[in-house]
Chain A
Amino acid sequence: MSTELLRTKLFIPRPRPVAQRVPRPRLVERLNAGLGCKLTLISAPAGFGKTTLLSEWISSTDPPGRVAWVSLDRGDNDPTRFWLYVIAALQTVRPGLGGAALAMLQSPRPPPIELVLTGLINEIATARTDWIALVLDDLHAITNPQINDALGFLLGNLPPQSGPGEQAQGIHLIASGRADPPWSLARLRARGEMNELRADDLRFTYQEAAAFLNDAMKLGLSPDDVAVLEERTEGWVVGLQMAALSMQGRHDVSGLVEAFTGSHRFILDYLVEEVLDQQPPTIREFLLKTSILESLSGSLCNAVADRDDSRTVLVQLDRANLFLVRLDDERRWYRYHHLFADLLRNRLEQALAEEVPALHRRASAWYEDQRLIAKAIDHAFATNDMERAARLVERGAIEAIFQCEHSTLLRWLETLPAQAIHTRPWLCVYLAWSRYWIGPRDQVGHWLQAAERALAIAPSPNALGITKAERRQIAGNICALRAHQAHHDEDLPRVLQMAQHAIELLPKGDSVCGSSMLVLGEAHWGLGDLESAARALSETKQIALNVGNLSLAVVATCRLAHKSVKQSRLHEAFETCQEALRLATHPSGRQLFSAGHAKVRMSQLLYEWNSLTKANRHLGEGMEECARWGPVDGVVESHVSLVRLQLAQGNTRSALDTLKQAEQLAQGQSIDPWISAWLDDCRVRLWLATGRLDAAIQWAASDGPRFDGPLSYHRDLDHVNLARVLCAQGAQDPSGPYLTQALDLLDRLLQATELAGWTHDAIKISVLKALALHAHGDTENALFTLRNALSLAEPGGYVRTFVDEGAPMAPLLSRILARPRDLSGKARPEGRPAVRRNIAADYVPNLLTILAAETTLEAAIPQLHPAPLIESLTERELEVLRLLSTSLSTAEIANQLYIAVSTLRTHTKSIYGKLDVHSRREATARAQEWPLL
């Protein structure tokens, strides 16, 4: 959409000079009074002066600049385009308003419009400044139910207006059109939330008719003649206007009035003839020929009417008040009054029918020259020149896809005859992308085959005007789509194959290449190949940055952070999230919607580290942004994070509520399987926490994987959830088969995750396995397994993974604390190699402290105090302490450490101080409490 055209859509028509119009204070007053309502509805047929009234009212508002305006036409039935206009209009009165919504709407996978609008409503509500109004003029042109539903939603959720009339606050909607919009008007009426102006209100009264005919048009009619005209036109403004125009400059006005009333013809039909008869032939021809245009400029009219004085003619028509509406202040663009244009077009069909196709062809060519392809396409369709239309659609499609105007693109493609599409591979590819993005997806394959056939038909590389490079690009798009499609169908090997083909074929600077790289990374990931995934994701990020697709770059970066999580490198993950946040933040401080996503991920890491307050803050911010602008996946994910946080804070009630919200959000949406598995994880935990094992069992039985079923990397969490339920069943019924089943499943999972290097998952699975072994009575193996988990988890600083298991975790951790040497792996059950890593001495006690505080199980935990001071000891001091525990004398110790006895004394003094002890014996006793000496 060119900015000039956009400006004409948002241009507020200026009222004519007072001398040329009839001021209508009674109606202006009603518009002012209506500001206290949510909605003003102006509903009347064409020609009742709706737009004129609004422009008079707007020019009277004080201070000016509070009214946003959108002139709608049938081409605006594309939801993306419609909301872009609305936000652009709002920004003319509140700069910056809805900036994030704008970014959201143009994202490749826009969220449900309700989410975008909720954010917008909140933004307006929190501003709490004086009222602003949004005028939707010619709203009857909007027939797309999606748009009308969303407008109904907007209206239903606008905050109630506070303050009467001009003292009102918030936003006021003014809908003006020829038909009532399909919203719940009765309810608005009943609640007094709607101000209504209808045909009866808008009709000219006798006084207004007199003022118009005699003051504005200076006809000097007698009161009787005025009365006759008013009666004959029933105060219909356009009728009076035409009557006046047909009488201008005539002598026998009364005779005309008589003739007019004598005719039984449809009055406008009659009047337009009279008006045209009044015009010189050249002007008449101009009016007829340019009536096919929705907007008029000098240059465009010159092209269409084949003349060179159009600009002058337009200025003349404007001056003569001949139903011309200005679309900008520079008098470059005009349009005819809609009803007048209809009448003119009918006359055109009568008088010059054979010329009409040529007129459209010239209009189409002019628009094509101006690169206004959408308009050029509409005129090509009007001439029925499908070859031309198809060629233009090929040109316009990329921009339509780029602007996410898929509905518009589909309308074009559906208007074209099948033959025109099937011979043009690009059109088939575009149609396939549109079907992929807005569905139905099962048609994607059909259009891809069509694209391939079209490519094959072309006899030589340069047939159909397709260059060799273009052929590669088309083939690349086909592969990219197949890869996306396979990704959606979870056919990972096929994703690998297709995405790799696509990447080979497409130029590196192509956005499609970037998104193919992303699905390639996802597929590697799903197949357990984290390193290849990371390579593809880094490349995705690079391509995205090169082509300026920031949101793709942020998505790839967040995914890279997740990869570090999988490898249990939580600190690295946190840094990567910070980088994503930086990428998502514009130097002006404005953030891409994906910033919310990065914040939610950071909150998850802070949660794992048990920094619950910080996690809460990050989640709060991230959640708000996700809910305002994010795709539904992110919104659900943020809710799930909140459930876990609320559970950790012991707030089961709120956790249940949040979970319910998350479920409602996810309902009927196709959300990422990974997120829905996480939702299940929350459900299972909540059921188990609230003693509803039956519900958990029912869930496990109803869907999802079986304990002995095949494993898959992209469904790993589903399996873990199942194991958790089996463990709980086993804890209740230890003699049943559940624990064995759980252990079998967990062992297989553990092997798979270790093979893939998914340490993060290995830790979580080991924790469950340790609990299952313990419940099964195999404490030795339980301790061994848990110890391995601890040594893997300690570098990442995992806390909640252990603590969230609650009371059953406490005795195991206590046993590990009580038998420090086992940590180095003295016992090696099952002959498996122990992990030779030392665990920082305060790690386990710290976990136990948190666990104790949360489960009030202090009694079960031995020797927790005087707590971990060990970190305050230096390496040297630890060495000294170790030797102090032996029977060596002071001199022997000093010897062994190659230090002077005095230096040794300094060390011992420092150690005694830090440990709060006063003798070697006391220090030795304290040292024994610690596992890691």
Chain B
Amino acid sequence: MTRRRAIGKPTIYRIRVEGRLDTNWSDWFNGLVIAPQADDETVLTGPVADQAALHGLLAKIRDLGLPLLSVERIEAGSGQSGVAGR
């Protein structure tokens, strides 16, 4: 089941990048919520339609020259995120 979902359905992802990105980049990143962190990092969180969309996002991050720190999938109901809890 997990496998099927990873390929087809929207999933919540949390992407950490180095550098403080302004929140006005949200549209650029397909509506992901942009949260600058204290330690010169930015976290982008939100639903990603499928794997192709995820790779598209990663390419945009690459193209802006933002070093990628981590990419996590947040399981629905895992309680890790308010967004994912719905």
Footprint of B on A, CB under 8 Å? 45-47, 140, 178-179, 236, 238, 264-269, 338-339, 342-343, 345-346, 349-350
Contact = CB atoms under 8 A, between A and B. Distances in A.
A266 B66 contact: yes
A264 B20 contact: yes
A346 B28 contact: yes
A267 B19 CA distance: 8
Given A45-B63, A45-B65, A342-B63, A349 B19 contact: no
Interface of B: 19-22, 24-25, 27-28, 40, 42, 59, 62-66
A186 B35 CA distance: 38
A178 B62 contact: yes
A538 B66 CA distance: 65
B75 to A, nearest CB: 28
Given A349-B27, A349-B28, A266 B21 contact: yes
22 contacts: A46-B63, A46-B64, A140-B59, A179-B59, A238-B65, A264-B20, A264-B40, A265-B21, A265-B22, A266-B19, A266-B20, A266-B42, A269-B21, A269-B22, A339-B63, A339-B64, A342-B63, A346-B24, A346-B25, A346-B27, A349-B28, A350-B24
A179 B27 contact: no
A349 B59 CA distance: 19
Given A349-B27, A349-B28, A47 B65 contact: yes
Nearest to A338: B63
Contacts of B64: 46, 266, 268, 339, 342-343
Contacts of A47: 65
Given A178-B63, A269-B22, A269-B25, 20 more contacts: A45-B63, A45-B65, A46-B62, A47-B65, A236-B65, A238-B65, A264-B20, A265-B19, A265-B20, A265-B21, A266-B20, A266-B21, A266-B64, A266-B66, A267-B19, A268-B64, A339-B63, A346-B24, A346-B25, A350-B24
A432 to B, nearest CB: 27
Contacts of A339: 63-65
B65 A268 contact: yes
Nearest to B39: A264
Contacts of A267: 19
Given A346-B25, A349-B27, A179 B62 contact: yes
B57 to A, nearest CB: 14
Nearest to B24: A350
A11 B20 CA distance: 37
A655 B50 CA distance: 52
Contacts of A338: 63
B22 A266 contact: yes
Nearest to A265: B20
Contacts of B62: 45-46, 178-179
Contacts of B21: 265-266, 269
Contacts of A268: 64-65
* 5 nearest A-B residue pairs (beta carbon): A266-B19, A264-B20, A45-B65, A266-B21, A346-B28
A342 B64 CA distance: 8
A798 B19 CA distance: 82
Nearest to B64: A342
Nearest to B17: A266
